[in-house]
């Protein structure tokens, strides 16, 4: 906008030049430039109350992308250097504007062609991936190897979002193919598990930290879980959290820092003791987190007792968990229980029955919402391709193309999940994600009752407060909350009572 001059001038630019297109003038003026035109050569409007003499000119400047009023200047001599009159200026700028429009039309046409080429390339990639997966499933090594050679050329680690996700599936297919026994035999190579698990724990930990910072998945899980836990702890003085896996060993105990902060400012009876018991195989890492949390809790006036049970979930027994009389217990499982889902239901049922014996007030369950545990390889492959394409698409919207953080997240975190789903079988396949409906059936069979999470409004408000990129949505589904990207569910949170 161009402000009107003040005081006795009472001049509006549209009064001076009724036909002047300000957007045209703004677009054609170079940045930080000034434009003047003689007032005695322009057609005045009846609203102008002052008569301007020869030699007076109106000056405008472009600053920070907008037009600013400078004022009216008088030349020292009307016989100085010849100046272009106002109409000449407009004519010149109009020509420049027409050239710019023509260039934009060409660019838009090229963009349309690029989009068409990109779409065709994505379709070709999907066809190649599915054909390769079929060849691998049929143990046709020759055909699969030929397709993999073409896929390696097309599936670029720094390409489009679909090229990048395709590169992860190519790695998984190549691994699966290399460990297949010859046609006519059954199973995988004996060296399969050992070779596949050669992954740098330092890189995975770094990538996990970046996932927490960049993607809303884990932060959303913590927010919903803590809200349910706080509701269960309401009015209690002695409370206990049994944390299965400590969110994959995420450093610093972010979830429990938020919980401690909330407990420190809660109203009601004073909290006399908070206990957190971490369960998992990363005892040394858990102790470091526990020490940090105890220091933080003390600074917040919370009495925290932190302990560690070094055990896998399958081997965990009720006697391993100490529950004091009079304290309220809750169980927290963030992206953990799918790891004990096997071909048979025995392992998961044992873990759920162990939890029931502890009689927690509530079990908070957060899992990836996708069907990656079907009995047929091709079905799992297609489900995973759809699921991770949505995740990589969201990363494409959040981070620049050549951002190294995005490469780390994709290649050292999500790619590891993809390769496990695509490459592994038997006990080595631990990324056995299932949909929320399947979890409902499993939990119901194990004797748990759904405790609806009634906080959809708070969850949507949380998305806005955290400035989560547009495209992420939260919906409620039969008492569960689902975080999704463009309507594709990514994470499902549910709550259960014994």
pLDDT attached to residue 92:
53
- Nearest Cα neighbor of 316 from 256, 250, 242 is 242
Q: Which of 51, 83, 115 is the last residue of a domain?
A: 83
- Render pLDDT for 202-237 as a digit per residue (tens, 0 to 9): 899 999 999 999 999 999 999 999 999 999 999 999
pLDDT interval class at 122 (50, 70, 90)? confident
Cα–Cα distance measured from residue 468 to residue 476, given in angstroms and rounded to the nearest whole number: 18
Q: 160 near 122, Cβ under 8 Å?
A: yes
- The percent of residues above 90 in pLDDT, for the chain, comes to 66
For residue range 266-280, list pLDDT tens digits in order: 988 999 999 999 999
Same-domain status, 329 and 463:
yes
Q: Which two tokens stand for residue 132?
A: 């390769």
Q: How far apart are CA 124 and CA 145, in angstroms?
A: 17
- Which residue(s) pair with 475 in the sheet? 482
Give the C-alpha distances (Å, rounded to integers) separating 452 from 217, 229, 377. 20, 13, 34
Asked if residue 191 belongs to a domain, the reply is no
Residue 184 lies in a domain: no
Which tens digits make up the pLDDT trace of 138-164?
Answer: 999 999 999 999 999 999 988 999 999
Pick the closest to residue 490 from 464, 463, 461 (CA basis).
Answer: 463
Domain tally, the chain: 2
Within-domain flag for 418: no
What pLDDT is recorded for position 183?
56
459-471 residue pLDDT tens: 999 999 999 999 9
Q: What is the pLDDT of residue 187?
A: 54
pLDDT at 101 over 60: no
Considering the domain boundaries, does residue 211 fall inside one?
Answer: yes
Q: Is residue 323 part of a domain?
A: yes
Question: Does the pLDDT at position 473 exceed 90?
Answer: yes
Domain boundary among 63, 83, 103: 83
Res. 179 pLDDT band, cuts 50 70 90: confident
- Residue 42 DSSP SS3: coil
Residues 311-328: tens digit of each pLDDT: 999 999 999 999 999 999
pLDDT number for residue 200: 75
Give tens-digit pLDDT for 408-451: 999 999 999 999 999 999 999 999 999 999 999 999 999 999 99
The pLDDT mean for the chain works out to 82
For residue 465, with 0-12 CB atoms within 10 Å meaning exposed, 13-18 middle and 19 or more buried, which class applies? exposed
Is the pLDDT score of 23 beyond 50? no
Q: For residue 403, tell me if it sits in a domain.
A: no
Residue 423, domain member (yes or no): no
**pLDDT value for 181:** 63
Among residues 83, 98, 115, which one ends one of the domains? 83
State the CATH number of the domain containing residue 240. 3.40.50.150
Instruction: Give yes or no for residue 165 having a pLDDT over 80.
Output: yes
Whose structure tokens read 């020490």? 291
- Determine the structural domain holding residue 45 and report its residue range: 13-83
On whether residue 2 sits in a domain, the answer given is no
Q: How far apart are CA 174 and CA 154, in angstroms?
A: 15
- Exposure of 349 by Cβ count < 10 A (0-12 exposed, 13-18 middle, 19+ buried)? middle
Q: Is residue 41 pLDDT above 90, yes or no?
A: no
pLDDT at 199 over 90: no
Entry pTM: 0.76
**How many helices and strands in the chain, by DSSP H and E?**
17, 12
């Amino acid at each position: 906008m161009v402000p009107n001059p003040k005081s006795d001038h009472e001049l509006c630019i549209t009064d001076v030049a009724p036909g002047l297109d300000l957007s045209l003038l703004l677009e054609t003026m170079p940045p930080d430039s000034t434009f003047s035109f003689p007032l005695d050569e322009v057609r005045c409007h009846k609203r102008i109350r002052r008569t301007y003499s020869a030699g007076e000119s109106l000056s405008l400047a472009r600053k920070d992308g907008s037009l600013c009023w400078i004022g009216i200047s008088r030349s020292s001599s009307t016989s100085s250097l010849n100046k272009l009159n106002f109409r000449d200026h407009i004519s010149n700028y109009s020509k420049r504007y027409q050239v710019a429009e023509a260039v934009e039309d060409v660019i838009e046409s090229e963009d349309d062609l690029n989009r068409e080429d990109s779409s065709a390339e994505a379709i070709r990639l999907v066809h190649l991936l599915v054909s390769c997966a079929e060849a691998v499933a049929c143990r046709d090594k020759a055909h699969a190897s030929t397709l993999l050679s073409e896929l390696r050329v097309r599936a670029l680690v720094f390409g489009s979002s679909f090229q990048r996700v395709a590169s992860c599936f190519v790695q998984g297919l190549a691994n699966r193919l290399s460990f297949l026994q010859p046609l006519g035999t059954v199973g995988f190579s004996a060296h399969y598990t050992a070779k596949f698990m050669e992954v740098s724990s330092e890189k995975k930990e770094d990538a996990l930290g970046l996932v927490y910072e960049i993607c809303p998945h884990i932060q959303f899980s913590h927010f919903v879980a803590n809200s349910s836990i706080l509701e269960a702890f309401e009015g209690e003085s002695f409370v206990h959290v049994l944390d299965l896996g400590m969110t994959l060993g995420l450093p610093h105990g972010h979830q429990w820092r938020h919980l401690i902060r909330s407990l420190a400012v809660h109203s009601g009876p004073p909290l006399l003791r908070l206990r957190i018991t971490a369960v998992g195989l990363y005892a040394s890492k858990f102790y470091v987190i526990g020490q940090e949390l105890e220091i933080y809790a003390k600074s917040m006036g919370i009495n925290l007792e932190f302990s560690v049970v070094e055990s896998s979930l399958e081997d965990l027994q009720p006697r391993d968990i100490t529950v004091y009389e009079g304290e309220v217990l809750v169980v927290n499982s963030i992206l953990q229980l799918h790891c004990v889902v096997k071909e048979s239901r025995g392992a998961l049922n044992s873990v759920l029955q162990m939890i029931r014996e502890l009689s927690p007030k509530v079990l908070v369950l957060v899992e990836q919402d996708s069907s990656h545990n079907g009995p047929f390889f091709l079905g799992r492959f297609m489900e995973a391709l759809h699921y991770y394409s949505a995740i990589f698409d969201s990363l494409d919207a959040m981070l620049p193309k050549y951002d190294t953080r995005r490469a780390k997240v994709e290649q050292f975190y999500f790619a590891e999940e993809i390769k496990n789903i695509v490459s592994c079988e038997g006990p080595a396949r631990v990324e056995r994600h299932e949909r929320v409906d399947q979890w409902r059936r499993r939990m119901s069979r194990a004797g748990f009752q759904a405790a609806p999470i009634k906080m959809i409004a708070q969850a949507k408000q949380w998305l806005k407060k955290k400035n989560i990129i547009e495209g992420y949505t939260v919906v409620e589904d039969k008492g569960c909350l689902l975080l999704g990207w463009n309507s594709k569910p990514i994470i499902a949170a549910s709550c259960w009572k014994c």
